[in-house]
Amino acid sequence: MLLQLVCYHLAMALSQQRQEELVRQAMELSAETARDGNVPFAALLVDKDGAVIVAAKNTVNSSHNAAAHAEINLLYEAAQKLKTSNLSGYAVVSNAASCPMCIVALIKAKVTEYYFGAPSEDNMVPNISMEEIVAKTPFPIELHGGILADECAAQIAATAPVNRR
């Protein structure tokens, strides 16, 4: 297990500076989609060098689709662009921890690493954290949380519509 974790670190290992740049990019997209009446969440698909391959926003309200969370939209766009359902070797970066639906989708896509800002909300529906879901997964997705967490949480609190998710 330790060797496996070391290998994953070697596979991606985005610098702290790059992690913060990417989370800030997700925050910018979040602000953009909030202006369209959506909840302020966004996600980026990033390759092993930290380059952004696909960026997506939550569009639940503007597209009238309860499943149109940023990570789900990201998987659809990644499928079109990369012509593969296997995102092993890629990382996803978001301004906040994923909901249960999205972390399961990212696990099924075999995303290698997940970087996020604000932690899981305590009123998640259903109320199961990413960490609990990842712990029950036979292959690991490595979680790196708390990147600019306070800034992310403040932005979410300030821009989220009253009627959440």
Q: Figure out which of the listed residues 26, 99, 147, 156 binds Zn ion, where binding follows CB under 5 A.
A: 99
Using CB under 5 A as the binding rule, whether residue 102 contacts Zn ion is answered as yes
Q: Give least dist CB 64 to Zn ion, A.
A: 16
Using CB under 5 A as the binding rule, whether residue 96 contacts Zn ion is answered as no
Q: Figure out which of the listed residues 23, 69, 117, 155 binds Zn ion, where binding follows CB under 5 A.
A: 69
Q: Give least dist CB 150 to Zn ion, A.
A: 21
* Tokens 């305590």, located at residue: 122
End-to-end C-alpha distance for the chain, whole angstroms: 36
Strands of the sheet with 91-96, listed across from one edge = 52-57, 42-46, 91-96, 113-118, 142-144
- Contacts of residue 82, defined as CB under 8 A and 6 or more positions apart, other chains included, come to 53
Q: Give least dist CB 103 to Zn ion, A.
A: 8
Q: Give least dist CB 30 to Zn ion, A.
A: 13
Using CB under 5 A as the binding rule, whether residue 130 contacts Zn ion is answered as no
Q: Cβ atoms within 10 A of the Cβ of 132, count?
A: 12
Angle between helices 16-35 and 149-159 (to 10 degrees): 0
Nearer Cβ to Zn ion (11/79): 79
Footprint on this chain of Zn ion (rule: CB under 5 A): 69, 99, 101-102
